[in-house]
Amino acid sequence: MRGPTPPRPPSAPLRVRYHSPLWNKSVSGMRRFGLIILATSMCLLPLATQAQGYIERVLHRPVPGGVAVLGLGSGAAPPKAYFKGDEVMVLREGAGQWIAVVGLDLKTPKGSTQRIVVDGEQGRREIPFQVGSKTYASQHIKLKNKSHVNPDPAQTRRFEREYKEQMTAYANFRSTGPSNIILDKPVDGRLSSPFGLRRFFNGEERNSHSGLDFAVPTGTPVRAPADGVVTIVADYFFNGKTVFLDHGQGFITMYCHLSEFQVAPGQAIKRGQIIGNVGATGRATGPHLHWNVSLNNARVDPAIFINAFKP
């Protein structure tokens, strides 16, 4: 059994080189003038373009189902930031820069201008950002269990009860920050169904795929990709045996179709700890791990957090 994955080393600061005739060493006056212009122009940049740290370079994928990383400026105390009424993660990165890490759900309009609301030392303000576009493919799945396509009234009531429980867990916001936001893979295996697929079960369209699937054998250990607290351990109608981990500041991960549980509700978990084993429970055609990542109550592409995102 392998131990926890060691923390990833921090990346070096982003270095930007400027090439201009103003920098000709033979013209010192022009060089000084260029410095003044450059410094002035950088001060005029919108705050949302100034977060040039490691987290932005890795996670900033502002598309439907993606993540926006926005600079909030510096200050002694962390500001609070909100998107569509939900509090978002705020971290300090680099030389004192605060950043907001914002989840965008799949229904976020392509090409739209969105805004976060920030409360901090500068008072209340809004920071706009642009949403790009991404096209998601379709997937057709044949299920033998017809009730997993059209459940009967009793099964529907069960699902509604379970859905409410999950939505409550997703909406939780603990002030404690995550141990790491660049995540380890919960299992080592082939990525099968990607996030965002339009799904058709027995020819009938249902909700888009809100997670990332790993095709691995039954019994494969599932490991926590970051420290967290277990909020749900349950056997659900669609998801099968399911575990929720709360990593702090609205950063929630879910693990579905498990064969076994290795944790209990309320348990504190360390990065790399086994939380369960892969199975094929619930609405599954074979053994695999379905992995969800949620930020500020928005389900986002887990591939972003393991350096597997495809534009």
List the single range of 80-84, 101-105, 149-153 with lowest mean pLDDT. Answer: 149-153
- How far is the C-alpha of 145 from the C-alpha of 166, rounded, in Å? 23
pLDDT confidence band for 85 (50 / 70 / 90): very high
Mean per-residue pLDDT, 71-81: 93
Q: What is the pLDDT of residues 186-232, one digit of tens each?
A: 999 999 888 988 755 555 545 677 899 999 999 999 999 999 999 99
Question: What distance in Å separates the CA atoms of residue 60 and residue 54, rounded to the nearest whole number?
Answer: 10
Q: How far apart are CA 276 and CA 99, in angstroms?
A: 33
For residue 179, give both structure tokens.
Answer: 């141990």
Query: What is residue 149's predicted lDDT score, i.e. its pLDDT?
Result: 57
Nearest to 135 by CA among 210, 192, 63: 63
Mean pLDDT of 138-164: 74
pLDDT number for residue 215: 95
Between 140 and 253, the higher pLDDT residue: 253
Residues 52-65, mean pLDDT to the nearest whole number: 92
pLDDT at 135: 84
> What average pLDDT does the chain have?
82
pLDDT tens digits for range 10-54: 333 333 332 333 323 333 343 333 333 333 333 333 334 344 588
pLDDT at site 124? 95
Assign 257 to helix, strand or coil.
Answer: strand
- What six digits make up the tokens of 207? 């909700």
Share of the chain above pLDDT 70, in %: 76
pTM (predicted TM-score): 0.78
Pairwise CA distance, residues 141 & 118, whole Å: 43
Ordered domains of the chain (ranges, CATH) = 47-130 (2.60.40.1590), 138-306 (2.70.70.10)
pLDDT the model gives residue 140: 55
Is there a contact between 272 and 184 (Cβ–Cβ < 8 Å)? yes
Q: How many CA atoms lie within 13 A of 49 on its CB side?
A: 7
According to the model, what pLDDT value does residue 192 have? Answer: 87
How much of the chain, in percent, has pLDDT values that exceed 90? 64
pLDDT, residue 193, reads: 85
Taking residues 58-63, what's their average pLDDT? 97
pLDDT at 263: 98
- What is the predicted pLDDT for the residue at 36? 35
